[in-house]
Structure 1
């Protein structure tokens, strides 16, 4: 590993050291009949060395490149390489002199990994089809030829043509008033430079409701009222976040609640965070995901990872910052509960992660960058940040975090950049509280540091006590569970012994109706216990759950659990029904689980 160049993005072909795309103008037409985007991207380039670069290398995947011209309309020769399974194809364009623009005419593939095309029947309203993207980590290249690297931050303008009666939104300025005409033409502008994995587009039967002066939510009309109610605290969250890390720099913070096939809990696309409908629980119990995507507006979008090895700089600080927002808006008890559950997830992943990969930096330079998204880049990194706060004290830590974000605003940084910064700030100002060795142990060490104290919450004492009574024979309907939150129930279920009898599970289910739970988190925790203990009464509900939800956090572990528990045939049968409804970005991973 020592021979690796940690300044290099191993997941991009782009020659950003020689010539860099700084801005682009995008003009695309949406065709639902062909499941295709077609048009052009006009790339503004800057040479990075005195000697002009002779070629521009872009990242693509499954794109048809029709022609390439410069600002004078002169044809530029180009070559599209054979495709790599992970990286796609490099597009090599010959440049003429110092011309600052390159225009690429192209169209996408119906199977583009970064786009999902849904039929009207697959939507809530059943009236119009739906399109949405998922560019992270390296799927932007499947719908735009560009330098698809978090190092290559860009501004952009876009002109999108869509069928009349449909609304288009992007990770940019979305003028919900002007765009109400739904006349087929939509214009967008992103004036702040963003990493390419934050490029996002959606098109469908979309309605909008304001949540506050600078916040709002888009979704299908039938879901709008419920989504607006669930997310009504968003404006308050923005104000709290600003108190901690300074002004919100992206104008508006709008969200779009997507169809169930969206593969993540949320995606922090600037000015238009993507959200899963599994968050709509009716009681705000799962809105920490809203806080998480908002927190990325500082840690992840403002200060971003330079390579996918450095993902922990996004997710670790954001997971910590999320907890601070939750504490300020919903109270200390909920914040403590979430940290304990977070730590529990991490401990579970320790059981299966090879020791040499138990560090916060993701070992994916020669591997699929999707594998960077594990509990170590999120939760172990978050535990590191919590430990920093504990050592420094909240006031001093908040000052460090504020200064860190200001120092690297609108920049992409490596782990080594962070360490160098910490050596001149954190380790100087607080040398009595943390040493360089301790800092590096957190970042490069495996396992958990010897001094780490696991998070606790006194609020869970009642859960531990009631669970112990039940395991000792007390009937479920005699347990004192009034007032328990989703976090209490998650802890009750996730800390059950590996082996629980079918009769015990049936009694729990009869009392608390877990199999019929409408809360996606509780259902997932219950189904995990049910599968490993052969509680077959839950299998029909598990099938329905897997067909109706495409969130990777839930479906990947459940398919794996089914396979591990001897239900491979059932898993294959369910997957055969559900596969078409899953987002292309996770189908490859699910294929390997269900058909290893």
Structure 2
């Protein structure tokens, strides 16, 4: 971690990459501010130093006028031959929220208004923090819209994505840790599902540790209020949840949090030392209270991807097979024909 304590409060240092800095100004007085762009260092971009005139306040605005490059890694330039109709070129940013049909993507980007914009990570070695909370909140939003089983099913899919990423990197690869050491590495090389899914598992674990979602929601609000407009590290995050838990949660929750194996969670590669209970896992564990949730979830929506897998697993549970087939006949007419047909095949109803 870089020590910023010795940098003068009159001098501000920013990172730039593939940008041409034209002018820096105080947007209130419109006076130009002195700045210097250093030579590019490999793939890491260039340092931008800005000198603040008449420094008096802790907070102050800066306006930077810049021009992007066609090679900007946060931007995509498509020639007209690369577009659908081949008529016009097209430009978009990596932050664009899909094509508007993915509600979970929209929920994710909305959540970034708090975890990512209001509070963000100190540097890319702590990148997982903002994505962990954002994925957790994204799925919480989806759960509010479609019900708790939807949240659990999305998390189950995220676990599969996490396993695939770790298998691709190798389970001993240091880039599968949450707290990374990126000395000499391009942060882009560390990008994967790991910070998103392994990170969100940490937040899910804390939520389950509380055994009180409303109290955990209160912690999230406390965390966002305490660190608003700041960049934080793992140390800041863990100290904050300990502080809140000590004051607001039962003693046994605080004790469990103190005994959390932080080395295994944050400093070791591979899968996290915990996997939450979800619908499919509940079925495979023959956990009877999950049955009602499964059928309620399959009745609430008609997605082939979800219902085909769930009914297949329920059919394999011999004790529940009769009820599974009865439930299928009761709700199949609420789905599209293809969903009903494919689920029926999983239940051996069609040859």
Hey, what does 1:388 align to over in structure 2? 206
Structure 1 segment 329-408 matched on structure 2, within 5 A: 329-351=145-167, 352-354=170-172, 356-393=174-211, 394-408=213-227
Residues 412 and 439 of structure 1, relative CA distance in 2, 3 Å threshold: farther
2:90 maps to 1:130: yes
Residues 432 and 116 of structure 1, relative CA distance in 2, 3 Å threshold: same
**Secondary structure of the residue that 2:259 maps to in structure 1?**
helix
Residues 431 and 372 of structure 1, relative CA distance in 2, 3 Å threshold: farther
Provide the C-alpha distance between the structure 1 equivalents of 2:243 and 2:33, rounded to a whole number of angstroms.
Answer: 50
Structure 1 spans left out of the alignment, 5+ residues: 9-14, 20-47, 135-266, 268-273, 281-285, 463-481, 493-596
Q: CA deviation at 1:300?
A: 1.8
| CA RMSD after TM alignment | 3.9
**Secondary structure of the residue that 1:438 maps to in structure 2?**
coil
Higher relative contact order (CA 8 A, sep 6+): 2
Q: Are the aligned partners of 2:175 and 2:190 in contact in 1 as well (CA < 8 Å)?
A: no
CA-to-aligned-CA distance 1:108-164 (integer Å, 9 cap, x gap): 433333333334454456554433334xxxxxxxxxxxxxxxxxxxxxxxxxxxxxx
2:73 maps to 1:109: no
Which residue among 224, 229, 239 is the counterpart of 1:410? 229
CA-to-aligned-CA distance 1:389-430 (integer Å, 9 cap, x gap): 112112222222222222222222111111221222224534
Taking structure 2 as the reference length, the TM-score comes to 0.65
Provide the C-alpha distance between the structure 2 equivalents of 1:297 and 1:101, rounded to a whole number of angstroms.
Answer: 20
Provide the C-alpha distance between the structure 2 equivalents of 1:128 and 1:420, rounded to a whole number of angstroms.
Answer: 52
Q: CA deviation at 1:297?
A: 1.8
2:105 maps to 1:289: yes
Q: Are the aligned partners of 2:16 and 2:48 in contact in 1 as well (CA < 8 Å)?
A: yes
Hey, what does 2:296 align to over in structure 1? none
CA-to-aligned-CA distance 1:157-188 (integer Å, 9 cap, x gap): xxxxxxxxxxxxxxxxxxxxxxxxxxxxxxxx
2:50 maps to 1:90: no
Hey, what does 1:326 align to over in structure 2? 142
**Secondary structure of the residue that 2:135 maps to in structure 1?**
helix
Residues 321 and 439 of structure 1, relative CA distance in 2, 3 Å threshold: farther
Provide the C-alpha distance between the structure 2 equivalents of 1:119 and 1:335, rounded to a whole number of angstroms.
Answer: 39
Q: Are the aligned partners of 1:309 and 1:372 in contact in 2 as well (CA < 8 Å)?
A: no
Which residue among 256, 259, 262 is the counterpart of 1:440? 262
Q: CA deviation at 1:329?
A: 0.4
**Secondary structure of the residue that 1:132 maps to in structure 2?**
strand
Taking structure 1 as the reference length, the TM-score comes to 0.41
* Larger relative helix fraction: 2
Hey, what does 2:319 align to over in structure 1? none
* Larger relative strand fraction: 1
Provide the C-alpha distance between the structure 1 equivalents of 2:33 and 2:155, rounded to a whole number of angstroms.
Answer: 57
The alignment covers a number of residue pairs equal to: 282
